[in-house]
Amino acid sequence: MTDSLRIPHIPKQIFILLKRELLLEIRSKEQITVMVIFALTSILIFQFSFELRTGNVQIFLPGILWISMLFASSLSIDRSMTRDSQTGVIQGMLFTPVDPISIFISKVLANTLFLLALNLILLPAISLLLNTSLPNYQLLPVIVLGAIGLSATGTIVSASLTNMKSRASLLPIILFPLLFPVVLSSTTASGMIIDGYSWDEYSKWIGVLLSYDIIFIVTSSLIFSYAVEA
């Protein structure tokens, strides 16, 4: 009988699993490609439709940014779970002594990194297309916390729907209402930053985002193994 003393500890498990997620994405480029094309198309549509009606598209900036992020992330994160369930890799990983929490955290980290990478393209594109300059450094905590919220929620909802036939139609129905606090606080905080409000004024929305992220990551980590169970 092999003992369990040599099983890697949780931080190492997360590192190994994160490395796998990044390697698969670098090779397939599925998630990033889908996100970039979808987000840029959304911005163009928003720009033309709002400008035609109002002539001033800049007031819609925070909404355009976060709606693009929301839709792009829901498509991309679901792809990550579907890929692993179709190939059976998720089940294969659950057969090993790896902690399901490590699988969940690695997926959230990978999806957050992909969303942050998307922003490297999205923010300059918004500045260029909407002819405005964004206070990127002040927006950074909102974008990071918002991306974590989108990733954590998207990953657990996608995992729970893995074995359902009607997953495509159920995903937005379940995911979008759950993401309402993330989108509301991210959009409001971003708007206040763009409008030049002080940290004291918008920090409460950062607090809401942070609380949401902590609550969702903790609860989702605990239920992840049940969610992906066949």
Which residues bind to another protein, rule: CB under 8 A?
1-4, 6-8, 12-13, 16, 20, 23-24, 27-28, 87-89, 91-99, 229-230
**Rounded to the nearest whole angstrom, what is the least distance from the CB of residue 33 to another protein in the complex?**
14
Task: Please choose, from the candidates 217, 38, 24, the residue with its C-alpha nearest in 3D space to the C-alpha of residue 118.
Answer: 38
With respect to another protein, which residue has the nearer C-beta, 16 or 45?
Answer: 16
Kindly tell me which of 1 and 52 has the beta carbon lying closer to another protein: 1
Our CB check for another protein shows the closer of 93 and 139 to be 93
Which of residues 199 and 226 has its CB atom nearest to another protein in the complex? Answer: 226
Number of C-beta neighbours around residue 146 at 10 A:
31
Least separation in angstroms between CB 106 and another protein: 11
How near is the Cβ of 80 to another protein at its closest, in Å?
13
Torsion sign (Cα): 38, 42, 48, 51: negative
Is the distance from CB of 76 to CB of 114 less than 8 angstroms?
yes
C-beta pairs of 135-141 under 8 Å, 24+ apart in sequence: 135/193, 135/194, 138/193, 139/190, 139/193, 139/194, 141/206
